[in-house]
């Protein structure tokens, strides 16, 4: 075992014979900091692992493991997911725990990472997202046999935020201010709850005007069409108004339902600018993006009595927890349900009537 300096970088160079036998192995590792002191510390640590009979080649740092995960799993990750993972690693994770060996990462290290994120002024949601990436990578390390056990940590409690949506009269204001393809696209968002990427990538082959449904099986990242966010296909019935609007909008200039002028997919920034400008024209400053249409779809259905399981299916969420944010919109519905206990109006035997009968 030796410490070398190559092109200004300290390297710990180890040659050893595994206890399982076979040919000698060579391992070259960089210390956490490019100093002689850090290199000597890593050298002692590797010597200790070898003396305990551990295979030094399997003692990966989180940074080494993360690099391997991205190399192996890159084809299984959507581009948006790749970008968010790489950003979380570069900005938060690797500076904090990248130098740590996988087996040395504990709950305290992850909690310190989260605390550092919060101290930077980031939201609990961001800290939880970063923690989720760490835990996902650690679970893969355990699955691949490089980690004995995965530390367990609970997510931070996130403050509840009111979901912003359009009232029926506001939705009509927005539609009245729009025209042409943009108007049909907004109506489609309001009546299907589709994400903007799903609207951009919607193809005519997925629209059945005779059977009155649309099949959502694609999404879009930047200008590329890919699978939906959940990776699942879902079917959404068409309302009367939307079916008529799509029939009138039918064209042959592209396989896309809502194409750009040249028939290609419309850039996201173009659509974002258009709906923000339209919101100002309609006197609706709350319209800052397309997602408010999805919230309006969900909120309208909840207020009118749609159950959460059905809403989950229509929105394409993988977990029912994702639709719980709309529950607070149903106080009137709760009152209607409680009124079912009214003996006089519903003929239901209540506790009061039972008490009077028993007396």
pLDDT (tens digit, 9 = 90+) per residue, 228-267? 666 688 999 999 999 999 999 999 999 999 999 999 999 9
Average pLDDT score, the chain: 84
Cα dist from 181 to 97, 142, 260, 274, 298, whole Å: 49, 50, 10, 12, 23
Domains 62-144 and 168-331 share a fold: no
Domain boundaries 62-144, CATH class: mainly alpha
In the structure, what pLDDT confidence band is assigned to residue 196 with cuts at 50, 70 and 90? very high
- For residue 55, the model assigns a pLDDT of 54
Count the Cβ atoms, other than its own, within 10 Å of residue 26. Answer: 10
Helix (H) or strand (E) segment spanning residue 304: none
For the domain bounded by 168-331, which CATH number is listed? 1.10.443.10
Residues of the chain above pLDDT 90, percent: 49
pLDDT at position 338, please?
56
Name the token pair of 49: 């692992």
Predicted confidence band of residue 134 (pLDDT cuts 50, 70, 90): very high
Tens of pLDDT, residues 143-167? 887 788 899 999 998 877 778 899 9
Tell me the pTM: 0.65
The residue with greater pLDDT, 344 or 76, is 76
Looking at residue 108, what is its pLDDT? 93
Q: How far apart are CA 325 and CA 163, in angstroms?
A: 7
Q: What is the mean pLDDT of residues 95-121?
A: 93
Residue-range domain boundaries for the chain: 3-52, 62-144, 168-331
């Amino acid at each position: 075992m030796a410490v070398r300096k190559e092109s200004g970088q300290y390297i710990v160079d180890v040659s050893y014979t595994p206890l399982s036998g076979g040919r000698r192995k060579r391992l070259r590792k960089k210390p956490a900091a490019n100093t002689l002191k850090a290199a000597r510390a890593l050298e002692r640590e590797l010597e200790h692992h070898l003396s305990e009979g551990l295979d030094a080649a399997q003692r990966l740092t989180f940074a080494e493991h993360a690099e391997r995960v991205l190399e192996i799993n890159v084809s299984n990750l959507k581009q948006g997911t790749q970008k968010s993972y790489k950003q979380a690693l570069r900005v938060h994770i690797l500076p904090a725990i990248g130098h740590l060996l996988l087996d040395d990462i504990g709950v305290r290290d992850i909690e310190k990472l989260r605390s550092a994120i919060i101290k930077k002024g980031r939201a609990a949601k961001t800290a939880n997202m970063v923690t989720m990436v760490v835990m996902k990578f650690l679970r893969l390390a355990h699955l691949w046999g490089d980690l004995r056990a995965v530390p367990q940590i609970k997510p931070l409690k996130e403050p509840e935020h009111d979901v912003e949506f359009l009232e029926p009269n506001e939705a009509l204001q927005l539609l009245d201010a729009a025209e042409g393809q943009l108007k049909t696209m907004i109506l489609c968002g309001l009546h299907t709850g589709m994400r903007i990427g799903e609207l951009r990538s919607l193809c005519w082959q997925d629209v059945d005007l005779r059977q009155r449904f649309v099949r959502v099986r694609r999404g879009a990242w930047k200008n590329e069409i890919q699978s939906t966010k959940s990776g699942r296909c879902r079917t959404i019935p068409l309302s009367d108004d939307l079916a008529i609007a799509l029939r009138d909008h039918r064209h042959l200039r592209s396989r896309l339902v809502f194409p750009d002028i040249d028939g290609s997919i419309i850039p996201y920034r173009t659509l974002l600018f258009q709906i923000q400008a339209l919101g100002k024209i309609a006197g609706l400053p709350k319209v800052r993006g397309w997602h408010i249409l999805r919230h309006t779809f969900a909120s309208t259905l909840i207020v009118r009595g749609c159950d959460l399981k059905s809403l989950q299916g229509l929105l394409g969420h993988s977990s029912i927890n994702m639709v719980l944010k709309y529950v607070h919109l149903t106080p009137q519905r709760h009152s209607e349900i409680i009124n079912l206990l009214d003996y006089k109006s519903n003929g239901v035997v209540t506790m009061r009537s039972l008490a009077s009968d028993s007396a």
